[in-house]
Structure 1
Amino acid sequence: MSELQPSLRIAIDLTPLRPGGENGGAKVLVLTLLKQFQELAPHHYFLLLTAPWNYLELAQYETNRMERLLVPDLIYIPKKKKLGLFSRLLEKIFNKINFNNFIGSSSLLKKNKINLLFCPFSAPTYADKDIPLVAIVYDLQHLDYQFFFTAQEQQHRTKFIVDLLNKCQKIICISDFTRQSFIKHFKTPPDKLAVVPISIHERLVELNESTVIEHLSSIGLAGRKYAFYPANYWPHKNHRILLTAYGIYKKQFPNSFLDLVFTGALEHEENDLKEAVDLMGLRENILFLGFLNQEVLTAVWQGCQCLIFPSLYEGFGIPTLEAMKFGKPVLSSNAASLPEVGGDAVIYFDPRKPDEIASCLAKISDNQLLVKQLVKKGFQRLELFDGKEMAYQYLSIFEREALNQNTLVKTIISGIYDDGWSAPEFHISIEPGLSGRTLEILFETPEFYPTSKATIKLRTKQRKASYNCLRGESQKVIWPLLPTGEVVTVQISPSFQPSQLNLNSDQRRLGLMVRHCRLNLVDGSSSSILALESVV
């Protein structure tokens, strides 16, 4: 495969990543992104900042363009029996790592010539004022749902978010619900926030029937009908109300064969729920499977009757899309981000009302027409969420923020392969210079382009313009440049993969052919930007 020139050196802070399932869906998202970055961005270099407790686990992601760096002097603090009602993200950061023992972030990043720091677990531990920082924030539960937090806990987490806002160039929110929470509680400028929905359901590959039966037999689920709730046992996941609702359902329908199955980490909390199940006399109907590997989890999905999702608060709602992928109807809470994810393909209930939840279980148990309608709508809804598009959005944000940083003073281009093809989006950083300069780009649309014309959009912070390039023809774009310098973002639509058009085996996502990209000076001379060397 051809290489894009030039590349960025991106550090990814994975020190908060925990063994097993304690990070919840955040860990699955991050590991999925690593795989996608390897496939879609071979032109960039990624440095994985790792801790002693995850260094070996992350070995499988190492390539010549993605390497691990073991950060010394990190201290593992074992999980306490009683943690209190902490938000899941900050809990796993602050309760697991002693940040006082970190080596200086400046020496770490600058020594490795890093252009951008990505913090997928939020904490800006290695922030450097000279290096742009992008972080994911999953939710603001401590402000949106204050019931679970003491005043001290709220203050602590708010201070953390304020610090993050001060250090970040861009915060990636996993839903518009989270983005709106930032605007509501912190008056955050909208252009500091980006929304990239989580699309990781594609990692779950459907198993053949014999493999499903084998796995279900090994965990006691063979031949059983069950509603499935995959969630760690954090308080906001609302397991206790679900147990109450299921008890109501069983009293109303004592002959029902619909069981209830839980998966998730956190052993102490699981034991507390098991005691409640015993008191209700429902031990034969409710199963706790613990943390499952991906293949066994897939088998549980394929064997279930439905997803039951009673969470009081979510920043996104990954299980909704996983259920839709396997053709399962979804019964979901109407709280927080969940309606944003599920749309009209879900039956919603008030998660605070056990009677409503029990009623939904009854609906799904005896109405096959409703089940078929929900499954059909679920497949349609799923088309809005694509894993590769998610990864492209992350990469695009990285490139824009790195190129926007004032420390990158050279004129460079990022997003053009060395055979002349562009990515669907690429960026040109122009250094300051005399008035009267222009940027000249010559595009070419091939005869095999999938539509009759391509749309070319150019934009900076101050301006934007749009052009069309017909199939089989060329289009020259002349863009007047400001003397202060600027970053020009170029977007091509539609993009395409040659392999999907049966042209060849090339799996790159491509825009148009760029025949030349020149910086024209006032004196009539010009220089090729494509020929300029990378800043790294």
Structure 2
Amino acid sequence: MKIAFDGKRFFNNASGLGNYSRDLVRILATHFPQNQYIILNKEQSERGRKILEIPGVSFKKTSKGNFSRQFKIGKDAQNIDADIFHGLSGELPLKWNNKPIKKIVTVHDLIFMRFPQYYSFFDRKIHFWKFKKAAEQADLIIAISEQTKRDIIKFLKVPESKIRVVYQGCHQSFKEMQSSEFLNSVKEKFGLPKKFILNVGTIEERKNLLNIVKAITRTDIPLVVIGKKTKYFNKVEKFIKKNKLQNQIFFLENVSMEDLAAVYKLAEIFVYPSVFEGFGIPVIEALFSGTSVITSNTSCLPEAGGPDSLYVNPTQPEDLKSKILFLWNNEAERNRRVEKGLKYAQRFSDENIARDLMNVYSEVLSGK
């Protein structure tokens, strides 16, 4: 089987869609080395270079020119006799030739439809057109959660029979044991407190950091935050200064994947009260890291967190505060949930994801 991938996110995105693209190819090539996996893009970058060293994975430079991703990359895949073209970020090329090829697209979320206030009018129209067009062209659609599947049916008017749910995993670093010496060196490197709760993700309104800050106000619980800052950060910072919380909240930047995995392991609790997610990879990262989780009772987050994470109404800081205090003051309860959460996380193992992806590929080629 020869599978061609749209490599834009694979090479260009440091997190999010980039991590999904790189992990997907790595997982497939590791567990099904008999196939060929070709990454199509205008150029390579350092991101993903290690994955290109895996047997069976190769890079193919695509045709030059403006809009080549839209008009040429599909034909490039056909011209190298690929059996399948997999668009990894909600898009498929617009132009194809007459050579046979099956088309699969992964849709991560339709947040721009559920929360249009977070997007400009122009971005909403462009996103909807691209996703709708890709859904129509695709032989099968991969949704990364049951929540995303429901949204594809609702907003893109796609029949359920055309959608398969294949969960995401997380980077290998979160599944590996790290020595106590390394963990201590990371703690010293970033000046972390002895005990803390953790939040990871872009600092934007939808991720709801302000309500975590409100929840720990008038407590002595330190909060460590790792994520790219947006304009929303100014709102959070204003509240922090007004309530004199500067010495209680730590913002980390330039954190490598290995260091990030260590910070997860060092945290007592991972707190993620996002209003809405397509899946919620940080929750999976926490489960694999052996860290207890508090997250929202909305969207796909209960799918990611499983039955032994704690759930809150993300709009109610007092609910969040009570759950944080409950776990913070109860080590035995944290440990119990960690043990069960790690077992639940195995459904997001590389082996399971590789098998589910290969089942989708086999199904689309069989035409059933």
TM-score (norm 2): 0.89
Aligned-residue offset at 1:369: 3.4
Deviations 1:214-261 (A, max 9, x none): 11111111x4211111112233111223222232xxx2x3xx2x2111
Whole-angstrom CA distance in 2 between matches of 1:33 and 1:115: 17
Instruction: Look up the equivalent residue of 1:15 and give its one-letter code.
Output: K
Whole-angstrom CA distance in 2 between matches of 1:48 and 1:100: 15
Secondary structure at 1:240 match in 2 = helix
Instruction: Look up the equivalent residue of 2:243 and give its one-letter code.
Output: M
Q: Which residue of 2 aligns with 1:116?
A: 84
Secondary structure at 2:347 match in 1 = coil
The total of aligned residue pairs comes to: 364
Provide closer, same or farther for how the CA distance between residues 56 and 72 of structure 1 changes in structure 2, counting only shifts above 3 A: farther
Q: Which residue of 2 aligns with 1:38?
A: 29
Aligned-residue offset at 1:298: 1.5
Q: Which residue of 2 aligns with 1:336?
A: 299
Q: Which residue of 1 aligns with 2:3?
A: 10
Secondary structure at 2:49 match in 1 = helix
Q: Which residue of 2 aligns with 1:528?
A: none
Provide closer, same or farther for how the CA distance between residues 102 and 152 of structure 1 changes in structure 2, counting only shifts above 3 A: closer
Q: Considering fraction of residues, name the structure with more strand.
A: 1
Instruction: Look up the equivalent residue of 1:209 and give its one-letter code.
Output: S
Whole-angstrom CA distance in 1 between matches of 2:232 and 2:64: 31
Of residues 45, 63, 70, the one that matches 1:55 is 45
Q: Which residue of 1 aligns with 2:283?
A: 320
Q: Which residue of 1 aligns with 2:161?
A: 191
Deviations 1:43-100 (A, max 9, x none): 2111111344x534333222452111233547xxxxxxxxxxxxxxxxxxxxxxx736
Of residues 71, 96, 108, the one that matches 1:138 is 108
Deviations 1:275-320 (A, max 9, x none): 5433432121111112421210111011101000110011112222
Whole-angstrom CA distance in 2 between matches of 1:115 and 1:244: 52
Whole-angstrom CA distance in 1 between matches of 2:203 and 2:11: 16
Provide closer, same or farther for how the CA distance between residues 201 and 114 of structure 1 changes in structure 2, counting only shifts above 3 A: closer
5+ residue gaps, structure 2? none
Aligned-residue offset at 1:123: 1.6
1:212 aligns with 2:183: yes
Instruction: Look up the equivalent residue of 1:49 and give its one-letter code.
Output: L
Q: Considering fraction of residues, name the structure with more helix.
A: 2
Whole-angstrom CA distance in 1 between matches of 2:177 and 2:364: 38
Aligned-residue offset at 1:344: 1.7
Q: Which residue of 1 aligns with 2:67?
A: 99
Whole-angstrom CA distance in 1 between matches of 2:154 and 2:147: 10
Contact 2:199/2:224 (CA < 8 Å) preserved in 1?
yes
Q: Mark the structure with the bigger radius of gyration.
A: 1
Contact 1:320/1:342 (CA < 8 Å) preserved in 2?
yes
Whole-angstrom CA distance in 2 between matches of 1:56 and 1:321: 26
Provide closer, same or farther for how the CA distance between residues 102 and 183 of structure 1 changes in structure 2, counting only shifts above 3 A: closer
1:399 aligns with 2:362: yes
Q: Which residue of 2 aligns with 1:240?
A: 210
Aligned counterparts, 1:157-236, within 5 A: 157-200=127-170, 202-204=172-174, 205-221=176-192, 223-236=193-206
Secondary structure at 2:196 match in 1 = strand
Whole-angstrom CA distance in 1 between matches of 2:137 and 2:177: 42
1:290 aligns with 2:253: yes
5+ residue gaps, structure 1? 1-7, 75-97, 405-460, 462-536
Secondary structure at 1:59 match in 2 = coil
Aligned-residue offset at 1:201: 5.6
Question: Where has structure 1 moved over 6 Å in runs of 4 or more?
Answer: none
Aligned-residue offset at 1:14: 1.4
Provide closer, same or farther for how the CA distance between residues 394 and 245 of structure 1 changes in structure 2, counting only shifts above 3 A: same
Contact 1:215/1:296 (CA < 8 Å) preserved in 2?
yes
Provide closer, same or farther for how the CA distance between residues 132 and 174 of structure 1 changes in structure 2, counting only shifts above 3 A: same
Whole-angstrom CA distance in 2 between matches of 1:308 and 1:241: 11
Aligned counterparts, 1:355-370, within 5 A: 355-370=318-333
Instruction: Look up the equivalent residue of 1:42 and give its one-letter code.
Output: P
Provide closer, same or farther for how the CA distance between residues 338 and 124 of structure 1 changes in structure 2, counting only shifts above 3 A: same
Provide closer, same or farther for how the CA distance between residues 65 and 327 of structure 1 changes in structure 2, counting only shifts above 3 A: closer
Whole-angstrom CA distance in 2 between matches of 1:310 and 1:395: 33
Deviations 1:122-163 (A, max 9, x none): 221365364211111111112233443455543332222210
* Larger deviation, residues 226-235 vs 363-372: 363-372
Whole-angstrom CA distance in 1 between matches of 2:78 and 2:117: 42
Whole-angstrom CA distance in 2 between matches of 1:70 and 1:267: 34
Contact 1:245/1:358 (CA < 8 Å) preserved in 2?
yes
Whole-angstrom CA distance in 2 between matches of 1:265 and 1:19: 16
Instruction: Look up the equivalent residue of 1:57 and give its one-letter code.
Output: R
Contact 2:207/2:274 (CA < 8 Å) preserved in 1?
yes
Whole-angstrom CA distance in 2 between matches of 1:259 and 1:226: 5
Contact 1:170/1:401 (CA < 8 Å) preserved in 2?
yes
Whole-angstrom CA distance in 2 between matches of 1:275 and 1:350: 24
TM-score (norm 1): 0.63
Aligned-residue offset at 1:27: 2.2
Provide closer, same or farther for how the CA distance between residues 212 and 178 of structure 1 changes in structure 2, counting only shifts above 3 A: same
Contact 1:105/1:126 (CA < 8 Å) preserved in 2?
no
Whole-angstrom CA distance in 2 between matches of 1:132 and 1:233: 38
